[in-house]
Amino acid sequence: MAKVPFTFRRRWLRPQDFVWLLLVSALALVSTHPTPHEIALLFALGLFQVVEPKVSWFVTGPGSITSILIKIALCYLLIGWTGGISSTYYVTLLFPVVSAATTLNLIGTSLITALAILAYLSFLLLLDWSRYELTAEAVGELGIRIIFLPVVAFLTHQLAEANRVEARKYQLAAEQLEEANRNLQEAEAAVRRTERLAALGQLTAGLAHELRNPLGTMRASAEMLQKSVETDNAIANELAGFIASEVDRTNSLITRFLEFARPMQLRIEKTDITQLLDASIRELERHNPPFPIKVHRNYAPEVPPVPMDRELMERVFYNLLLNAAQASPTNAVITAKSRLIDNFAEVSILDRGAGIHKEHLESIFNPFFTTKSNGVGLGLAIVSKIVGEHGGSIRVESEPGEGSVFRVFLPLEYTELHGSYASHSRGQISTS
């Protein structure tokens, strides 16, 4: 349990604080012959009532009980100093009793009430019975004073419990509303992303056909140019090579556009996530970044084989691992983790790199959004699409300067729906 520091929660006076101070001042004024000790105890009790709500430790279980016991002690001293069993200050015992009723359960309230009654009755032991006689009238008065405490305690506890129940209902409603708002925002973001993807698909399909024909002509012309020029003409050969390589790069980019825009045909089969992650890690090591990267494996053995397109999901994990490696410093450690959550298998890729700024988090899965100088902004967009086609979702958590965590959720079961796959509980986890 977390330790609650002994700090002040509020530093200003509340209206009820003035009421407490006014109450103890009035009691001191109406007292027949107030003594310095009586006034000091009255103001100590009032001051404690004012200070108690401002100290955070008194909100905890031990702190609440301690504050109630302090009030009982102050009331006991005040009653004892002003006549004991016959003191008119017996009503101050309502302070700890009401405090117990509003903060503790019924058993705790009963115990505190019983302690207050015993503390008050203990003054009978201090009487000189050779000088006093317990008459029927005195017994009746004493009985009224005693019965008054548990009645007030019970009624106050019932009222406080009703307020707590209503507060829990309002809190639950607020949490449900917050969850609904979050789901609505995520749904709106998904709709906006879908609309952008649809527009991109139409644009890409048209441009790809129009661009590939001239690109093919340019590629063939560059090859013919390389064959026709003299071998010792370094400049011409270099320029022809530049033309061919740039044409290839442009053609590859168009291919990636088409892959992103066209519907995917998934080849679903039960696949072991551990083996798939290991294959992606080996692929990363074969195409190692220009500095060493270590990958720490943290796999959960209870994760069963998951229905997926093995080739596409290996591409997803490889891209996430590569992004983590590119964002990490030299000799950094990347963590590949798997675990089982309800009806989903979760795969997390963690790095301790530069992180992602908050204003970019919503856009990183959008096509053409990139923070890399040589990137085109399709890597994470394709990753998100592949995961979505499997009926899963992807989330990212990141803090600038502390690293990022990409979480991929894949359903353990799927149902075929219009050529794609969706989990029967897909709504439980939303795409970031």
Stretch (H or E) spanning 410:
strand 403-411
Residues 6 or more apart in contact with residue 142 via CB below 8 angstroms: 85
Give which of 245, 381, 236, 260 is closest to 323, Cα–Cα.
381
Task: Specify the amino acid at residue 225.
Answer: L
Per-residue pLDDT at 221: 82
CA atoms within 13 A on the CB side of 419: 4
Residues 6 or more apart in contact with residue 115 via CB below 8 angstroms: 72
CA atoms within 13 A on the CB side of 108: 17
- Consecutive 10-residue averages of pLDDT for the chain (432 residues): 50 72 78 79 84 82 89 90 86 89 90 92 83 80 88 91 90 92 84 71 70 79 79 78 79 69 78 92 75 84 92 90 86 90 92 83 72 66 86 89 91 62 36 39
Query: What residues does each domain of the chain span?
Result: 15-126, 191-261, 268-428
Q: Where are the alpha helices (DSSP H) in 31-93?
A: 36-51, 61-81
Count of C-beta atoms within a 10 Å radius of residue 92 = 24
C-alpha to C-alpha distance for 357 and 12, rounded to whole angstroms: 38
- Quick one: fold of 191-261? Helix Hairpins (1.10.287)
C-alpha to C-alpha distance for 424 and 420, rounded to whole angstroms: 13
Region 268-428: CATH code: 3.30.565.10
Stretch (H or E) spanning 348:
strand 344-351
In order of 89, 119, 127, 137, 191, the CA distances from 133 in angstroms are 21, 21, 10, 11, 86
C-alpha to C-alpha distance for 230 and 234, rounded to whole angstroms: 8
